[in-house]
Structure 1
Amino acid sequence: MSAAHCFSSVSTSRWRVSLGRQNLEGSNPNEESSTVAEIVLHPAYDSVTSNNDIALLRLSSPVQFTDYIRPVCLAAGDSVFNSGTDSWVTGWGAVQEGEPLPFPETLQEVEVPVLGNRQCNCLNGVGTITDNMICAGLLAGGKDSCQGDSGGPMVNQQGSVWVQSGIVSFGYGCARPNLPGVYARVSNYQSWINSHIKSDKPGFVQFSSSGLDADNSYTCPGLPPPPVTAPGSIESAKSSVCGKASMNSHAAGDRGLVPGGIWPWMVSLYKNGVYTCGGTLISKNFVLTSAQCFSTSNPDEREWRVLLGPRLVNGTEEFVMTRGVKRIKLSGFMSSNIALLKLTKRASTGHFIQPVCMDISKARSFPVGTRCWVAGRDMGSRSGETHKADSGLRGIETQVASCGTGSDPDNICTYAMNLQKGDQGGPLFCKSDSSWFQVAVVSTSGNKSVRSDLQVFAKASRFSSFLKETVDDMPSPAAAATGNAAGFSISLLLCLAVPIISLFLVSGC
């Protein structure tokens, strides 16, 4: 595992990986080397902002572990690194700005504390630090990674286990006061990493930090308000809000790929790293999807990951947040069942992540002619293929139609749509007053009609009792809000000048 910015192409011809190496010059009796069979760059890597600065190199042959060659464990998606968490960074980079590592260029280490993303954003320029990054450094300066360390690891010790939390990415100079180093946040890429490693998968460890994180209350001009969880606070107030889409600018008749924030309740469900179904965030703890996404009535929660906050960056899709699954509960109806997934950690809401409203009281009416949407994954025309990360979220507009005489009141009909495999588990949602409500769950093997011009869905309100019993933090409708975002240019740390790199192994932890 390394940084994407270290590679100008995915050509493997000039690269070798050195393992067990201590010195760049002179003797290395414990060293082994390997050629590279494949270089995989994150599809949403942005060279301007350094977002998603991560790459995987597949070695040409398996590595033999020794006392000097061992795999590192990786931070799992639910890991928490509070500000002040002790970290270590290793590499062969410059010992300070403009001063290269002296002969024989022996591997160096530096101990630096994690600096929270809010404070790091303020110091580097609000908008520079994304959720896919983690910062570390002393406010007084003097300790940092530097030019030549790029792609190397930042690790943290938990008990007897070392867990990699970051990949050296970028910074303004080296070890300058109030300018901490910035690293790719490894825990945000568990699903992506697993999707490219078919056997001997990495060992993911959930790193935990005790106590409150002081960074949560840090603020500066231009930074969005901090999440506060005390009674009556900002975060607890927001937990009761649903159906907002502050970045929604869709016009009537729009269809096709949609930018991020348009439908902020949309999530993607991955099983063992492979896209399997869509779903919706209906509270900060729960995701709603179709029961047909699961092959058994007792699915293994450990196989599933939830990716939230889809958005398009330079034409490819990335996600703001990833969560594990604590519990999967299927409704017990005779047909048209739904599923609820409880997240291992509450989702943090923002412009790109908001819950959709559910009409569990059955008080809402969506009359014939109401404009509604189905949103799901764009699987293209490649039937049977797994979802590609850059396929993106698509939306289809439709209208509520009459189901005809004698129809089931627990059903709702729309004009026919060309639903695809990638729409499975996604929502049919409509607007009522100023809030968006999920009216039904899409099941591509169901939702049919005897009339070719209609689509029939089981109303989500049919499952009101199941939803009330399971979801304990169901939000209420509220008016929409607006907001702004800003982007900044940054400077990258340089990679090693020679195309021989030493990487931490990630398989076999």
Structure 2
Amino acid sequence: MPSKRSCDVSRTSVFTCRPPSVCGQAPLNTRIVGGQNAAPGSWPWQVSMRYQGSHMCGGSLINNRWILSAAHCFTLISRWTMVLGLQTQQGTNPNAVSVSVSKITVNPNYNGNTHDNDLALVQLSSTVNFNNYIQPVCLAAAGSTFYNGTKTWVTGWGYIQSGVFLPPPGILQEVEVPVIGNGKCNCLYGPGSITKNMLCAGLLAGGKDSCQGDSGGPLVVKQGSVWVQAGIVSFGNGCAEPNYPGVYTRVSPYQSWISSVITSNLPGFVTYSSSGTNRDVTCSPDIPLCGQAPLNTKIVGGQNAAPGSWPWQVSMRYQGSHVCGGSLINNQWILSAAHCFALISADPSGWTMVLGLQTQQGTNPNSVSVSVSSITVNPNYNGNTNDNDLALVQLSSTVSFSDYIQPICLAASGSTFYNGTETWVTGWGNIQSGGECVRPEGQQMKMWLRNGSCKCLIHTVHMAMSEFT
């Protein structure tokens, strides 16, 4: 039985333990840039994973009996056939080989909610023979670096845009996309969404991306004469949308796990080293780590807010009952109104903050309840004039961000809100003055700002009230 080994390749060196023919060779691939349809044999490790004859996901051949893919492909489906050497989904494929599956091993740390650790290994029922159309890809070894701007290729038979199937005969597609560093990608998807086990690639302007049906397929990069798999198609916000690059499972952190599952004839692991320096270590100033609502697609209309539309919305509860709203502004602080605490209590012990909430009654699988450690009311708050009506609430512990819990950005000093500016207000309050709160779901309403008219209206109301006092 061969011992467990890995190969280390730099841009100018050669393999130190195995000949380069072991993996990452595509004898028929002569493409550098451009194009959509892939030439036959261009990506000989590409696998079409089929359920009952239909293509469902992609995968990559990593030795003569194992395929690497995404864990989420196997959450609902169990009976598979792997097709290698395939060019088109319809018609004849003289170089294709179909093989049944003997075992599927999903990474034990896979999290379907966060998409973290989204990878799986598929063992074929028999070994396959290599040729020009069937070859294993090399895998990125631990310590590989893929800096912002690194050119990569992604391949598959998925949708050519959201909801649009690949037209017949279903030719394998290829697209070149640059790596977008994890710092910027975290800014785009929301803080904490992109983990160290993920890799992002795409265009900030949109237009090039993987899509549904490409899941599990390889994201590869070329080093010298060798192709190295850097990522596995995992998830994204739509397909090729501006400011939402594709997100891939980063292969390199899983060298040890892959080696522990495959007990013989290990895949070829290659250390990929990006050139230059990584300029993507923090968010750029124009992309703040706040104000991201991944599930909010609302533009106009509607009353009930969709779950996750306003992930900074907080239900502030006193002794178990909703009293006021608030907004999450970082992972431990909430901004609210001073009068909420002046009228009830500024004692933290009576308050509970509920985040990620959709309805005041019933089940809320995404909600988190946190106690309060301190309440700081603005010292200039005036209960008679309502001036300086704000307060800060410190949570007793930090919260983790998700699609349903995100911080809001705050308007900076010098911000202007001109007459007619469109705004949204959200909450669980009464739906008419003095009425009961009969709607348990969070409500949303679009409003327009007009300070001049507002002052005039408030002055008129005060004059009318004075006639009865």
Q: Give the shorter-chain TM-score range.
A: 0.3 to 0.5
Query: So what's the TM-score if we normalise by structure 2?
Result: 0.48
Query: So what's the TM-score if we normalise by structure 1?
Result: 0.44
**Structure with the larger RCO, 1 or 2 (CA within 8 Å, 6+ apart):** 1
